[in-house]
Amino acid sequence: MEIMVAMAILAISLVSVFQLYSQSISMATDSRFMTTASLLAQSKMVEAETTSSLSNRRESGDFGPDYPEYVWRLDITDTQLPQFKKIEITVANKLFARRGTYTLILYKRPEA
């Protein structure tokens, strides 16, 4: 009987340890995605900001062989205030089914 109780305690503690380990891996993966996606979105935002015209448009693409699992989408649209444009960059990871998108938005006044 004592051996069965000891085995039950050991099984419960091992399940808890494995669950914590799994949760730690998941959190590390989410953190890595958020860091990478935010840096990629910032680099695309700089490209969009420095273009000569901020005309309304929609573009999309990928980040090449350096980041093959990441794709981006650029949307430049009007706002309610005619002197501003909304620049929206969305970066997504094709490997994540959910929580795999990151969006960065900037409101900018086009230069005359």
Once rounded to an integer, what is the mean pLDDT over residues 11-33? 88
Count Cβ atoms below 10 Å from residue 96 Cβ, excluding itself.
14
Residue spans per domain, the chain: 2-108
CATH architecture entry for 2-108: 2-Layer Sandwich (3.30)
Per the DSSP assignment, residues forming a β-bridge with 7 are none
Report the percent of the chain where pLDDT is more than 90: 54
- pTM, full prediction: 0.76
pLDDT exceeds 80 at position 98: no
Backbone angles phi, psi at 82, to 5 degrees: -65, -20
pLDDT in tens, 40-78: 999 999 988 887 678 898 999 999 999 999 999 999 999
